[in-house]
Amino acid sequence: MKIKVLFFVAFLVFSNCKIFGQKEEYQNPILAGFYPDPSICRVDSNYYLVNSTFAYFPGVPIFQSTDLVHWKQIGNILDRPSQLNLSGREVWHGIFAPTIRYNNGIYYMITTFVYGGGNFVVTAKNPAGPWSEPVFLPDVQGIDPSLFFDNDGKAYIIHNGEAPDNKPLYDGHRAIWLLDFDPVALKTIGPRKLLINGGTDISQNPVWIEGPHIFKKDEYYYLIAAEGGTGFNHSEVVFRSENVYGPYENYSANPILTQKNLDNSRPFPVTNTGHADFVLTQNNEWWAVFLGCRPYQENIYNTGRETFMAPVTWTADNWPVINVGFDVVRYSYPVPNLVKNKKEDFPKNGNFEITDNFDTDQIAKYWIFLRTPLKEWYKVSDGKLKIQLQPEVLSGDQNPAAFLRRQQHLSCIFETSMEFKPKTSGELAGLTAFMNEKHFYVLAKTLIDGKPAIALYKSNSEDKTGMELISSSVLNDNLATIYLKVEINGAVCSFMYSTKSNEWLVLKDKIDATYLSTEKAGGFTGVMLGAYATSQGIPSSNEASYDWIRYTGSDQIYFK
């Protein structure tokens, strides 16, 4: 695999070097693209971070760092079909809001499998795995469970749940609950206790209190949570108590993080901020990781909810506040007071170009699948990615032959060299820009009226194939090798092909990319780009072979 990171002089001055006496800064988001709902913990001098994955497999990537800035993906917590079978799940179902914690030599990850059994916990002695089979927790209702280990050896689960007596006073009325937890038997103990009813001020009808975490500092237990929903009104709030069971006092200056009151026309906005988790470094600095979005117009974005980081400051009366001194979430902050570690496996942010030549037997960890592969339809050998065409399609609810990675920039290019000869009109192979079952594009080689052609499809739930042909070009011959390219620039995307390297022909120029946005497609994920091969419902022995796949991303904010 070849990795080429593109640096710009202005960018270096802006965020990457100590120049002219300025303190070195890191850049946000620390994980660009669809990496939502971050949770973080520290073990000695190592930091571990996890994210939601919904209906993608493997589930819950886990990253390691020593400086909070440079992250290496050391594995995926749910990497076996026995742990996570996503068959039949819609894209926005699956794994919600994992929390990672450590206690007495054991790592714990607790999360919600939406429409798949509810809340469960897994454990490991090594954060890189293997992780245990899930242990489901039937007494933990709702979503977004978190673990808290107290200094006295006791453990607790905190989670979002229904309103008291299951009688909501208004739409969006939820509550935060706590249960005692046995971390050895992995069972809850006794009845649950109500910690927060509704949110910061129930007389104001606060909505969607969720994503709770508890930590202890000095004499107080602090409970942080998201409020306002995951859209434009998203925020992070804090409460505290001298007893883990409460009562919890609402911070009068809540929220401690939000962007909802800012001018929508501000340059390079970060929106929808919230769902935070805190970590204390070994040098007594507090930091928050949280999700945010980077819209390219209004509140329209394709890159999903991303992981940002900002410092936490404590007020004189001992309340934590994120991003003190600034209204807007910044794209750079001074680096944490930690030993720098630049040993990354692949770029997570900034402007970069990365080409996978498939020159190792192991696939790179940035590749993921739509739902759980229950059979082997791909292999990497002889410097090629070989995909056997599958009957499953992107518009279905099973595992199609789609080899995917995240769109991490507002502007990017995704291209490949592919060898494929379709045998029937139903066979096609190429590239996809995929948001969900009802919002995707496919650029592929296929047969049209018995002739080889390059075709562009758009999802269409009213068509029996789940998509409609919107443009095509007949090829002069059925040469095996074809080059395909997808270019995305904010609200528009273009689709190109070539029979010779770098001699591109435009199949369709500047079509609507907002069609793939969260605003229009819905859900909680982000756009995926990848290789896709299907026989559209009919078994096939045909195969598509990809020589290389290249992703190039460049955002103006990174070379401002």
pLDDT digits (tens, 9 = 90+) for 86-145: 999 999 999 999 999 999 999 999 999 999 999 999 999 999 999 999 999 999 999 999
Which pLDDT belongs to residue 16? 39
Distances (CA, A) of 144 to 175, 225, 264: 12, 10, 29
CA atoms within 13 A on the CB side of 352: 14
Cα 411 to its chain centre, rounded Å, is 18
The domain spans of the chain are 2-334, 352-559
Query: pLDDT category, 10, cuts 50, 70, 90?
Result: very low
Of 28-42, 176-190, 546-560, where does mean pLDDT reach its minimum?
A: 546-560
pLDDT value at 9 more than 50: no
The pTM assigned to this predicted structure is 0.95
Distance, CA of 515 to CA of 491 (rounded, Å)? 9
Q: Give me the pLDDT at residue 1, please.
A: 55
Pairing of strands 451-459, 369-370: unpaired
**Residue 2 clears pLDDT 80, i.e. is over it:** no
For 200-220, what is the mean pLDDT?
Answer: 97
Alpha helix (H) residue ranges in 388-527:
518-521
Spatial separation of the C-alpha atoms in residues 533 and 431, rounded to whole Å = 8
Residue in the block written with tokens 């002889």: 382
Query: Residue 22's pLDDT is what?
Result: 62
What's the rounded mean pLDDT across residues 17-35? 79
- CB of 544 closer than 8 Å to CB of 429: yes
**Burial environment of residue 146 by CB neighbours within 10 A (0 to 12, 13 to 18, 19 or more):** buried
CA atoms of 128 and 71, how far apart (whole Å) = 13
Integer-rounded Cα radius of gyration of the chain: 24
Amino acid (1-letter code) at residue 163 = A
What percent of the chain has a predicted confidence (pLDDT) above 70? 96
Q: What is the structure's pLDDT at 14?
A: 38
Q: Which of 178, 153, 174, 151 is nearest to 164 (CA)?
A: 174
pLDDT of residue 427: 97
Phi, psi (5° rounding) for residue 542? Answer: -75, 160
Name, in order, each residue with C-beta under 8 angstroms of 211's C-beta and a sequence gap of 6 or more. 37, 97, 144, 146, 160, 225, 226, 274, 275, 276
Given a contact cutoff of 8 angstroms between Cβ atoms, the answer to whether 78 and 372 are in contact is no
pLDDT top residue among 12 and 300: 300
Q: 207 Cβ partners below 8 Å, 6+ apart? A: 170, 171, 172, 173, 174, 199, 227, 228, 229
pLDDT tens-digit map of 99-116? 999 999 999 999 999 999
Query: What's the chain's average pLDDT?
Result: 94
Q: Which residue has the tokens 């919002």?
A: 439
Give the pLDDT mean for 177-203: 97
More confidently predicted of 51 and 461: 51
Residues 248-301 pLDDT 10s: 999 999 999 999 999 888 999 999 999 999 999 999 999 999 999 999 998 999
Percent of the chain with pLDDT over 90: 89
Is 192's pLDDT higher than 50? Answer: yes
User: Across-strand partners of 461?
Assistant: none
Residues 59, 83: contact at Cβ < 8 Å? yes
Look at residue 341 in the predicted model and tell me its pLDDT. Answer: 79
Q: Which residues are catalytic?
A: 37, 210
Is the pLDDT at 189 greater than 90, yes or no? yes
Q: Do 403 and 367 meet the contact criterion of CB atoms below 8 Å apart?
A: yes
Q: Omega of the bond prior to 247 within 30 degrees of 0, cis?
A: yes
User: What whole-number distance in Å separates Cα of residue 394 and Cα of residue 444?
Assistant: 13
Instruction: Map residue 9 onto helix, strand or coil.
Output: helix
Dist. CA 184–CA 107, nearest whole Å: 12
pLDDT at 401: 98
Confidence (pLDDT) at 518: 96
**Shortest CA distance to 525 belongs to which of 31, 40, 56?**
56
Q: What is the dihedral of CA 151, 95, 514, 433, to 10 degrees?
A: 120
111 vs 101: CA distance, rounded Å: 12
> Token pair of 479, please?
């040469």
SS3 category, 203: helix
Quick: pLDDT tens for 296-336: 998 999 999 999 999 999 999 999 999 988 889 999 999 99
pLDDT-derived band of residue 8, with 50, 70 and 90 as boundaries?
A: very low
Q: Selecting from 2.70.70.10, 2.115.10.20, 1.20.1050.10, 3.30.390.10, what CATH number does the domain 2-334 have?
A: 2.115.10.20
Per-residue confidence (pLDDT) for residue 469, from 0 to 100? 97
CATH 3.10.450.50 fits 352-559, yes or no: no
| Residue 529 scores a pLDDT above 80 | yes
Q: Which residues contact 167 (CB under 8 A, 6 or more apart)?
A: none
